[in-house]
Every structure is written in C-alpha cells, then in structure tokens.
Amino acid sequence: MESEKSDSDTRYVLGIIENRVKEVGVAALDLRRASLHLSQFIETSRSYQNIVTLLQYFDPKVIIIPSNSSAPDGMIGLTALLERCSNARKVELVRGFFDDTKGATMLQNVAAKETRAIFSENYHKQFYLCLGAAAAVLKWIEVEHGFIITKNSLQITFNGSFDHMSIDATSIENLEVIEPLVLDSIKQKRNRSSLYNMLNTTKTVGGARLLRANLLQPLKDIETITTRLDSLDELTNNEQLFFGLSDVIQKFPKDTDRVLCSFCFRQKKGSVDTTASTRRSQVLVAAIILLKEALDLLPLLSKVLQDAKSSLLCNIRASLSSNSAYSVLKERISEVISDDAMHARSAFTARTQQCFAVKYGVDCMLDLARKSFCTTSEAIHELGIKYQKEFDMPKLRLVYNQRQGFHIVISESDLQQNCLPNVFLQVVKRGKNFCCSTDELMSLNSRNQEAAAECYVRTEQCLEDLINYISGDVRSLALLAESLSLLDMMVNSFANTIITKLPAVYTRPDFTENGPIAIEAGRHPLLESIQFEDFVPNNTFMSEATNLVIITGPNMSGKSTHLRQVALITIMAHIGCYVPAGFASFRIVDHIFTRIGTGDNLELNASTVTYISIKS
C-alpha cells in the first residue's frame, strides 16, 4: 500500500481476541504481500508464551484487540501483555467488530480461489475466534486507510505458524537468531553478529523477509528440507549456475513483491482525499512499471535455469517458463506501456518515468498534462541556471525530493560575507550547505506538482482495464514473488555463505526419522566468523537412550557457547542450509526452549528456576 519503506519496516496488522476458556484467535494481515494468516489455539501458559512467540514472528505495526477485555483467571491480560512485549500501535475496537459470521463472509469474498475451501461450515464453527479477528482487521483497514481488498486476491493460510518448529521469544533472544544480545551494563551490542545478519546477503526485500521467517519458524518437513539441500548441492558444485542466478536475481527490482499488494488493495469509493488518490495513482503506475521490468527478465532467468537438475530449481523453472499467464500479461502491458519505462530509485527520475509510462496518443488529456509537466520542469531548470549566474554561485544546485519538491541547495563556500541575498526564503542550514527556496521557485514547483498529479490520475484511468486484468490473476503474481524470494534466499544467502567459506568448513546435514542427534566437530557459526584463532570444535550426541547431557566446567570455559552452538546448528539444518560441522545428523525437532544466564529476581526473593516457574 505504500511505495517507499525500509527493508526492515514491518507490514503486519494483527487482530487478537480471546474467550474465557483461554482460547485465542489471531489474524495477521501482511500489507506488503496481501496475505492473511489465521491461527486459533488454547493458550496454556499464564504469561501468553504462544502469543509472545507470534508477536516475535510477525513484528506487527498495529495490534487490534477488543475493548474492555478482561483476562481469564490466572492470566495477565492481553492489554498488559501488549504494553510490555510490543511497541506496536494498539487499537481497541468494540466487540461488535469481531463478528465471526461477517468475517467468514468477507473472507469468502476476497479469498483467492485456491484458499476458499478452508471456509466450510465446519471450519466456521470450530475456528470462530480467528474469523472474528479477521473481520476486525479488514474493517479497520477499510476505515483507517480507505482501502478495500479486491475480490479473489487475498492469499490465506490457516494455522501456518504451528506447522513449523516452535522457538519461544526468550530463546530467539538468547540464541541471537535475529538480533545480537545487548549488554545491560553498557547498553551496547557485542562485537558479534546475529545468525540472521550473518546469513542475510540477499539482494531482494522478499528474500530477506523469507530468511527471517525461516529462522524464526524453521521447517519440520523432511521432504522440503531435503529438496532445499539437493538444490544447494547443485549450486555449490556448479559455479556457472550459481553466478548466473546471482547475477539475474540482482537485476530484478529489489521490491518486486510490492507489486502484489498494489493490485490487491483498491481505494474505497466516495473518498474525497485528493492527495491520497494521487498518491494511490502514483503507486499503481510504479507497480506496473516494476511488473513490466520483472516480466522482461523472466526469459533470462529461465535460460539460466535450463540446465538445472535439482527438483526445486526445475520446479521454479517450469512454473515460470510454462505459465502462459506471464506472456499474456506482458503483451497486455506492452500495448499501453512505453518500452522505455523503467523502475528507478531516484525520486525525480521515478516521477518522470511514471508520468511518461503510457504511450503517446492513448489519451489526449494525458498528453496535455505531460506538456505542462515538461514546461514547468524546464522552467525550474532554467531558473537554477539563472540564479547561478545572477548571484555568482557556481555550486548552487536544484534538488528534488517527494516531501519538498524542488528546492535550492547552496554551498557555504559560495556565500559572500556569509550572507544570503534576500530573494532566498525558508533558509535551513544542513551541514555545510544551505537549503532554501524563492517565491518564483515555489510557484513553479506548485504548478509542476499539479501537472504531475494530473499525469498520475490520467495514467491510472488509461490503465484501468489493465489493472482490472492484473487483479483478476493475483495468484500468478504471488507465484512470481515467492519464486524470486526463494531463489534469492537459496542462492545469495545459503549458497553464498557456503561458497565464501573455506573448503570443507560447512557440510550437508542428514535427517532420519528416529535416529539420534549427532554433531561431529561442530562450531558456533557466529563466533568462528569473528574469532582470529582457530575455533575449537565440539562433538554432540543425543538419542532416546541418552537424551540428557550435563555440561560442567569453570567460568568462561564455553558451556553457554556450546549450548548455543548446538541450537544454532539445529536451526540452520532445519531451514535447509549446510551447517558448520564435520558431520551432522538430526531427527526432526518440534520445539527449542532455552534458559541461558541468570534470571534471579531479588524483589520476589526468587532464584532463576523459581522465577521462570512463576512466569510460565
């Protein structure tokens, strides 16, 4: 729904509701990928550990809960929990918005055809809480942002988070999976990275987000893990394939997955916010340019994958090259979009590309708006040259950004007697430069922005049929975004990590149904990357007969490091990546729980074990 955000900026809106028997319903709407995740479960922990884990996973920007919700006996309450565990914006709605019947009806209308089956009558009766949470989330999006979801466009998963390995929030922090630990004494991060930072050499936003999701909830399906490992075998042994894929992925727009969201959300009829409407038109035009650029690169990607042998890479090649929807969509786009239109990161270049995206002659009113845009842009450029000569400021330049439009930047070295002429207004000093404007520039800037806004609106009107066509086949866009994200993670994260290490440092893990957990010459993946001398490896063996290991030793001997090492190697193996060990064999792990360090609470006169028992 928004066009320019940082890679790490969250996009989830979370709805949570509970009943008096400790049953919780959760609906998480991903605004970037237009997908909805539903979960309903019994909260067995008095401290809401399951919800805390979901908050860690989704990292929502907004959390919606019922107003005046009282906690069941022995529970701390949702409101108190959210105040303590999340910095997201909290929104309280009356319980009437959490209507499961309306939720089921709304989801049947907007759900993609492939996911409608989950809304049968049996599902409705059994999972009414998460449907009520979904109703509140969708209604809040409509009221707050003035957007509605188009029909048959929302990808919905049910209880997806519980089909993966569960790692509680405390363990995520202790193991440094996403963020490095913070030293409370000096409030600074240690001179070390996290597992996510170490592996995150991805080139796209979708690849980075998929990597984070896999680390927080690793896989439990042996077949999927083995398929990923097979593709890693091929990528690490075939340098031509590895470098070819890495080069092609880098050419794709960094935020290709943003395209999907643009066509799934439509502005609600009756909206009178002209600024929001113009912004919406700009986002749609930018999304079509992004989509055009991605579709143009698909033949090159298929060519690089043509000699691939592993099933994962072959399936991706088949899904992208044999899907006729992409070729038809490319033809529809080429009918109205100029061949020269390209995605650009620069604000002014992107704006110009969006204004001239549609071919000439399609709409005469659009051509007139473009002429006005060009005239004012040239006048602004000539005005900058005029000021350079008139005030003898050769370093004076015009700069454009989306918030201010065009403004003047003058170097401090250009000033005579450290004083600006009176013609310059709104002067702000930034470093060694002065940012300012003039009456003439502000007038031209206003006319230029009005012409650009008219171009956006007229362009969207010209593309209305194309937008409706794209919205009708969102599943193809979702498949494209998912394939690129998975390729990026496998190639630029997993394979890159293995190839850039010394030979024989990382090895492929084995998986068995009921075998032991055996690690030979295992190493801590984070510490060995920053340790100057050779890391001392350790062996680990656990089976049904020996399922408890007690580690003893003096302070600073590496006991905690060994515990973290085993857990991190296990996580890496379950996401389908090679591990830092001479040999590693695992059975599927369902949960990882850790308690590392001291957690004494003097106020409660409780030891670490007692305090943990009180919390859980």
Task: Quote the mean pLDDT of the chain.
Answer: 84
Residues 411-428 have pLDDT tens digits of 887 776 567 888 888 888
Look at residue 2 and tell me whether its pLDDT is greater than 50: no
Q: Are residues 387 and 427 in the same domain?
A: yes
Per-residue model confidence (pLDDT) at position 185 = 38
Q: How many CB atoms lie within 10 A of CB 140?
A: 18
Q: Are residues 338 and 483 in the same domain?
A: yes
**Residue that is last in its domain, among 403, 434, 457:** 457
Question: CATH code at 603?
Answer: 3.40.50.300
**Rounded Cα–Cα distance for residues 253 and 295 (Å):** 11
Q: Are residues 616 and 540 in the same domain?
A: yes
Per-residue model confidence (pLDDT) at position 20 = 79
Backbone φ and ψ of 507, nearest 5°: -130, 160
Q: Are residues 322 and 382 in the same domain?
A: no
CB contact at 8 A, 596 and 174: yes
Q: How many CB atoms lie within 10 A of CB 53?
A: 21
Q: Which of 198, 115, 97 is nearest to 154 (CA)?
A: 115
Q: Are residues 323 and 386 in the same domain?
A: no
Q: What's CA 131's distance to the chain center, in Å?
A: 24
3: left (phi over 0), alpha (psi -120 to 50) or beta: alpha
Q: Are residues 348 and 441 in the same domain?
A: no
Question: CATH code at 41?
Answer: 3.30.420.110
Q: Are residues 372 and 344 in the same domain?
A: no
- Is residue 549, in this structure, part of any structural domain at all? yes
Residues 287-324 have pLDDT tens digits of 888 889 899 999 999 999 998 999 999 999 999 888 88
**Rounded Cα–Cα distance for residues 611 and 170 (Å):** 14
| Confidence bin at 510 (pLDDT 50/70/90) | very high
Per-residue model confidence (pLDDT) at position 79 = 75
- Is residue 215, in this structure, part of any structural domain at all? no
| 461-477: average pLDDT | 84
Q: Are residues 156 and 22 in the same domain?
A: yes
Q: Which of 520, 488, 516, 493 is nearest to 589 (CA)?
A: 516
- Is residue 112, in this structure, part of any structural domain at all? yes
**Residue that is last in its domain, among 144, 162, 180:** 162
- Is residue 169, in this structure, part of any structural domain at all? no
- Is residue 190, in this structure, part of any structural domain at all? no
Q: Are residues 335 and 414 in the same domain?
A: no
Burial class (CB in 10 A: 0-12, 13-18, 19+), 383: middle
CB contact at 8 A, 41 and 28: no
Q: Are residues 30 and 151 in the same domain?
A: yes
Whole-model pTM? 0.82
- What lies within 8 Å, CB to CB, of 50 at 6+ separation is 24, 41, 43, 44
- Is residue 178, in this structure, part of any structural domain at all? no
Residues 98-139 have pLDDT tens digits of 998 888 888 888 887 666 555 566 666 778 899 999 999 999
Backbone φ and ψ of 90, nearest 5°: -100, 130
- Is residue 224, in this structure, part of any structural domain at all? no
- Is residue 425, in this structure, part of any structural domain at all? yes
Q: Which of 508, 572, 570 is nearest to 310 (CA)?
A: 508
Look at residue 183 and tell me whether its pLDDT is greater than 50: no
Strands 155-158, 35-42: pairing is parallel
Q: How many domains does the chain have?
A: 4
One-letter amino acid at 174 equals N
Look at residue 156 and tell me whether its pLDDT is greater than 50: yes
- Token pair of 4 as six digits: 């320019």
Q: Are residues 555 and 570 in the same domain?
A: yes
Backbone φ and ψ of 400, nearest 5°: -120, 135
Q: Are residues 60 and 126 in the same domain?
A: yes
Per-residue model confidence (pLDDT) at position 192 = 55
**Residue that is last in its domain, among 145, 162, 179:** 162
Tell me the sheet residues that pair with 398: 408
Strands 583-587, 510-512: pairing is parallel
| Confidence bin at 1 (pLDDT 50/70/90) | very low
- Token pair of 494 as six digits: 């997993």
| Confidence bin at 85 (pLDDT 50/70/90) | confident
Q: What percent of the chain has pLDDT over 90?
A: 35
Helix, strand or coil, per DSSP, at residue 468 = helix
Per-residue model confidence (pLDDT) at position 43 = 80
- What lies within 8 Å, CB to CB, of 27 at 6+ separation is 14, 15, 36, 37, 38, 130, 131, 133, 134, 136, 137
Residues 6-33 have pLDDT tens digits of 444 558 999 999 887 778 899 999 888 7
Per-residue model confidence (pLDDT) at position 276 = 66
Question: Residue 521: which domain range?
Answer: 502-616
